[in-house]
Homo-oligomer: A and B are copies of this chain.
Amino acid sequence: MTQQAGQVVFTRGGVPESVHHVHVAVVDAQGWVVASCGDAGLVTFPRSSSKPVQALPLALAVPELPDDELAIACASHAGTPEHLAVAERLLARSGSSVNDLRCGTHPPFNPEAAADLTRRNEKPTPLHHNCSGKHAGMLLACERNGWRREGYAEHGHPLQVRIRELHAELGGVGVDDVRAGTDGCSVPAFALPLDATARIFARLAAPQGELAPALERIFAAMTAHSFLIAGPGRLDTTLMPLVPGLAAKMGAEAFYGMALRDTPRGPLGVAFKIADGGERARPHVALAVLEALGVPVTEEMRALAPATLQNWAGREVGTVEAHVGLTWA
């Protein structure tokens, strides 16, 4: 049964102005759905929240990979010099160059880094793409597995086939239940039920079986290098250091995945999707869900999701409220 979706309401002068709906699934270490809001079975794309899974073949194939390079492979980075340096190092490890990256090109997400390029009259390269670390890691995973590097981004390539299987295996669904689209960076984007993605994050929170050592390394890399996962002022980077035992990853179109090691109910995996893709609602939902799961929400965390709206003149003009009522199984 589908419950009522959660809401994030933007109000101006006491009148609701815009409303986002959200679906949430929470899964425990045993893989059970323990709480949800809205449609926990919604089939949707984790997008970049899939990156910890997409980095698994890399972690498995390159046991000696430094943590920072594993982190950049899991990142949607902001294109600062620090991000580029680590992505470049990972790229060089397979003897690849920026011309081998199939992610395309966009200006750095970090406004300062973008302005620096403009000031120098330089164009962004594929290395500035937020997914360049993931792509560099994919090239290295191919090289170490003896798979051709050419075509590494294509749906039929052995690496992408393996990543799809890993989504199914960790998500507890059949491979046929993992549907495939193409992502903003041209690799396959997989769609699966929201609770299956929550299960993937539960596996990251409480690794089991053969994949456990690689999942442990990914969890450790993400949390130790939260700056590399996103960038200055961005949600993953700011939130992870504030919540002990949290590995979190944003995905495009307002997806979010959280692996929580330390909650009153033990390790949990969380996945949520804001139905309209409205990214601005994400921090509000993330905090509401953490609070509902009994994770202490501090003032520093609340600053990530301001309850008041300010205008261009710095004047307070409205409020933002998240109503995310979890139903417990």
Contacts and interface: CB of A to CB of B under 8 A. Distances in A.
A253 B17 contact: yes
Contacts of A191: 12-13, 15, 17
Interface stretch (A30-38, A49-57, A176-184): A176-184
B185 A312 contact: yes
A182 B313 CA distance: 11
B276 A20 contact: yes
A45 B44 CA distance: 31
B184 A13 contact: no
Nearest to A21: B276
A92 interface: no
A222 to B, nearest CB: 24
Contacts of A20: 276
Given A105-B312, A312-B105, A182 B45 contact: no
Given A21-B276, A103-B312, A104-B311, 19 more contacts: A12-B189, A12-B191, A13-B180, A13-B181, A15-B45, A15-B191, A17-B253, A18-B277, A102-B313, A103-B313, A104-B312, A104-B314, A118-B118, A182-B311, A182-B315, A185-B311, A186-B312, A276-B278, A278-B278
Interface of A: 10, 12-15, 17-21, 43-45, 102-106, 115, 118-119, 121, 129, 179-186, 189, 191, 253-254, 275-278, 311-315, 317-318
